[in-house]
Chains A and B, each alone.
Chain A
Amino acid sequence: MLPDLANAAILLGNYVIVPGLAYAAQLALGALGITLVFGILRFANLAHGDLMAFGAMATILATWQLQAWGVGLGPLPTALLALPFGMAAAIAAALAADRLVFRFYRRKRSAPIVLVMASLGVMFMLNGAVRFIIGPDDRQFTDGARFLVKAREFKQATGLAEGLSIKTTQCLTVVVAVVVVILLFRFLQRTRTGKSMRAYSDNEDLALLSGINPERVVLIAWAIAAALAAIAGALYGLDKSFKPFTYFQLLLPMFAAAILGGIGQPLGAIVGAVIVAFSEVTVTYAWKKFLFYLLPEAWRPDGLAQLLSTDYKFAVSFVILVLVLLLRPSGIFRGRVL
């Protein structure tokens, strides 16, 4: 009985918890950027997915260069060293887009939907730039040790039938995300600039009256969102593989996470990302083997015990999104109702 329980737990850890955590960390970094832009610039930035792709692309190019020079981090992927370059590139792209596109509509005080449309144009251009520079194909840029915990070694060490494998990239993703989030929260809570950003997000007019410079707030919001996007994009590319088209498809889960957590609420974006990621993973996981360990023989299911095939993972984010919009439009953390 006890080994069965342990096996079931390991199975769950291997196929649900570890991949779910890594995915949640990637989504959270993306959703944080979306919620920041949504809270401060007050529009849904459709270009965010492609901004992630752009940052990831710059990281990959820098990684290749470092690899060519023979610079590495040993067991850790070289991409970690290249990340600042990717962040800088994404920040430059976001600031250029703001300068050339969004600022005009902001000054004109256009309706938010006009900014959303403009972000569509930015999305097109970023997408074109990424495909032009690095091409539309799959790119692998992982190096260093592939696994932190190997399934076979784990089995040998514990004597269990199920093995636990943790990829270096999965662990790295979670660690980097946690560090970044802690830094972001310290910045937002402790520094003067961070406080002025929160004030601006809460009440624009009052913030302006108290002498906060809106252009500076907007500038910093873009810089943070872009840096987070580059990190999220690079981590996602490391964990899965880099493909320019996949980032567009992350938009829906990221928006679902941001809206679920409450727009303009950084903590909400993280909680939302965890909920969205684990809903996706649990709904699309085939529970057959897990139940096999836990249930008596007569109760074991014949099928895969999978609620939805993995091809329908968008549907999960979509259902979450719709439920939130219908039942509690302000989100879990009472964000802005836009």
Chain B
Amino acid sequence: MTPAVRNAIALAIVGAALAAMGFGQSWSLALAVANLCLISALMSLAVNIQWGYAGLFNIGIMGFAALGGLAGVLVSRPPVPAAWAAGGGGLFIALLILIAAGGFALALVRYMPRSRTRTAALAVVALAGLFGARAFFDPAVDAIEAVEPAKTGYLGGLGLPIILSWFVGGLFAAAAAFVIGRIALGLRSDYFAIATLGISEIVIAVLKNEDWLTRGVKNVTGLDRPVPYEVDLQQDPFFVDMVAELHSRSLEALTGEAHGEALREFAVQSSSLFVKLCYAGLFLAVLAVVFWLSERALHSPWGRMMRAIRDNETAAGAMGKDVTRRHRQVFILGSAVVGIAGAMLTTLDGQFTPAGYQPLRFTFLIWVMVVVGGSGNNLGAVLGGFLVWFVWIEAEPAGLWLMQALTAGLPADSALREHLLDSAAHVRPLVMGLILLLVMRFRPHGLIPARSGPAGG
């Protein structure tokens, strides 16, 4: 089988699966799954850039996605002037104190000879900075969180269109990646992995607990949309006319009351479909642009250099390539794309729920997508994203069905039967782990091997 045929088959399978869902269950559901597939594909593509191009094992994807989500809140929510008035000044002073302490510490490191006194002085500066900043920070935070805690209790955002948050989310994630890259790149690959795991847990802890910034576990709901609302569409005469045109054949037979009723019904259905299609269009556009850019990069001299570094760091280093710097570059690029995808996900959900970020769903599932797709292969990563998300969605009903089939022979009030049916949802991680292990073992280059040289393995 040539790669082109295999790609075509894989695409056809994904399309057929979604179409089967559309005909069998509902188009609205199929589109909802497709939208999440698109976002998953983007994340998978991003991780593939890091792993496939540079061999970086990042298991902190969740943190970068959550930073993207944070951007969604900070860009789109209207600012809360009362909260700014109550605590903005205090926060600013705390920030100044921290910056001053940091500057002072840097100056100490630079201008004072290394000695016990310097270490002691650094400790004093760090503690003084921390306590000084907290003296202003804590009351400011209390004041901000006291401003209508049920509705706001945070600083709010900038009140800009949410689509801007996709860029901002990318920037946030890139900035975080820059800092982590400074610290952890250049270490051995498993240490780097553990460091990224730690960072992502810390990011989530911050988002959950800093209520003044994110409302924490109280969540931010009702985010703006980049696409029209269903209710508005249903009122819009142009849209209703279009729906009437589309369904003219089934509407023809009806008159009067029944006609209006049916038309309203169609309008409701179509508006929901239309909104999802709009999202799908936006996501597809982003995915296409990122995909095109990564393909161009992979086949450019830069991409060849990256693969050379991945395959033999020592040799590439001996040829004068700055391995750590290149790694950092790729790490920042890939993380930025994860941030964009995270912001897109928050936009689609219309809410930001810090407690919803679970490593299983946001980090390790993405890794299954990359492995299934074949590392170093962009198209593979995208298809892996689609396939694995689809399996992830379908594993639960399939597990339930399997359990029902297995327990059909047991009496209805059997405790075992009840337990098995309750546990069906937890079949998901089992299936994912199995897929990951089987693909790694029997198709180490993924379902769609890259053409130009194997990766990893």
Interface residues of A in 252-291 (CB under 8 A from B): 252, 255, 259
In angstroms, Cα B371 to Cα A158, docked, is 63
B263-300 interface bits toward A, Cβ cutoff 8 Å, 1 = contact, 0 = none: 00000000000000000000000000000000000000
Q: Are B205 and A121 in contact (CB under 8 A)?
A: no
Residues from chain A with a CB closer than 8 A to the CB of B57 are: 113, 116-117
9-residue interface stretch from B13-21, B342-350, B427-435: B427-435
Return A232 CB to nearest CB of chain B, in Å. Answer: 18
With A44-B194, A113-B190 known as contacts, the answer to whether A131 contacts B426 (CB < 8 A) is yes
Q: Is B191 an interface residue (CB 8 A)?
A: yes
Residues from chain B with a CB closer than 8 A to the CB of A117 are: 57, 367, 371, 436, 440
Q: Are A135 and B422 in contact (CB under 8 A)?
A: yes
Return B179 CB to nearest CB of chain A, in Å. Answer: 11
- Other-chain residue from A44, A314, A338 in contact with B205 (beta carbon distance below 8 A): A314
B419-457 interface bits toward A, Cβ cutoff 8 Å, 1 = contact, 0 = none: 000110011111111101100110000000000000011
9-residue interface stretch from A56-64, A211-219, A317-325: A317-325
Residues from chain A with a CB closer than 8 A to the CB of B429 are: 124-125, 127-128, 131
In angstroms, Cα B205 to Cα A317, docked, is 14
With A121-B440, A124-B364, A124-B436 known as contacts, the answer to whether A112 contacts B426 (CB < 8 A) is no
With A116-B190, A131-B423, A303-B134 known as contacts, the answer to whether A326 contacts B183 (CB < 8 A) is yes
Q: Are B190 and A122 in contact (CB under 8 A)?
A: no
- Other-chain residue from B55, B202, B430 in contact with A124 (beta carbon distance below 8 A): B430
Q: Are A125 and B433 in contact (CB under 8 A)?
A: yes
Q: Is A210 an interface residue (CB 8 A)?
A: no
Residues from chain B with a CB closer than 8 A to the CB of A338 are: 188, 190-191
With A252-B197, A312-B209 known as contacts, the answer to whether A122 contacts B433 (CB < 8 A) is yes
Q: Is A251 an interface residue (CB 8 A)?
A: yes
Q: Is B305 an interface residue (CB 8 A)?
A: no
Closest to B198 in A: A318
With A128-B427, A132-B427, A249-B201 known as contacts, the answer to whether A321 contacts B194 (CB < 8 A) is yes
Q: Are A317 and B426 in contact (CB under 8 A)?
A: no
Sorting the interface of chain B by its residue count into under 10, 10 to 19, 20 to 34 or 35 or more gives 35 or more
Q: Is A73 an interface residue (CB 8 A)?
A: no
Q: Are B433 and A128 in contact (CB under 8 A)?
A: yes
- Other-chain residue from B359, B426, B436 in contact with A248 (beta carbon distance below 8 A): B359
Q: Are A307 and B436 in contact (CB under 8 A)?
A: no
Q: Is A123 an interface residue (CB 8 A)?
A: yes
Return B151 CB to nearest CB of chain A, in Å. Answer: 24
Q: Are B440 and A118 in contact (CB under 8 A)?
A: yes
Interface residues of B in 351-401 (CB under 8 A from A): 359-360, 364, 367-368, 371
With A116-B57, A311-B208 known as contacts, the answer to whether A125 contacts B202 (CB < 8 A) is no
Residues from chain B with a CB closer than 8 A to the CB of A126 are: 433
Interface residues of B in 176-197 (CB under 8 A from A): 183-184, 187-191, 193-195, 197
Q: Are A113 and B55 in contact (CB under 8 A)?
A: yes
Residues from chain B with a CB closer than 8 A to the CB of A46 are: 59, 193
Q: Are B441 and A325 in contact (CB under 8 A)?
A: no
Q: Is A85 an interface residue (CB 8 A)?
A: no
Q: Is A114 an interface residue (CB 8 A)?
A: yes
Return B109 CB to nearest CB of chain A, in Å. Answer: 14
Q: Is A43 an interface residue (CB 8 A)?
A: yes
Interface residues of A in 116-150 (CB under 8 A from B): 116-118, 120-129, 131-133, 135-136
With A132-B427, A132-B430, A314-B201 known as contacts, the answer to whether A118 contacts B437 (CB < 8 A) is yes
Closest to A307 in B: B130
Return A23 CB to nearest CB of chain B, in Å. Answer: 17
- Other-chain residue from B55, B130, B199, B367 in contact with A120 (beta carbon distance below 8 A): B367
Q: Is B236 an interface residue (CB 8 A)?
A: no
Q: Are B55 and A121 in contact (CB under 8 A)?
A: no
**Chain B residues close to A by CB (< 8 Å):** 55, 57, 59, 130, 134, 138, 183-184, 187-191, 193-195, 197-199, 201-202, 205-206, 208-209, 359-360, 364, 367-368, 371, 422-423, 426-434, 436-437, 440-441, 456-457
Q: List 20 A-B contacts (CB under 8 A).
A: A43-B190, A101-B437, A101-B441, A110-B457, A113-B456, A114-B456, A114-B457, A116-B57, A117-B440, A125-B429, A128-B426, A131-B423, A135-B422, A259-B194, A303-B134, A307-B130, A314-B205, A318-B202, A321-B194, A329-B187
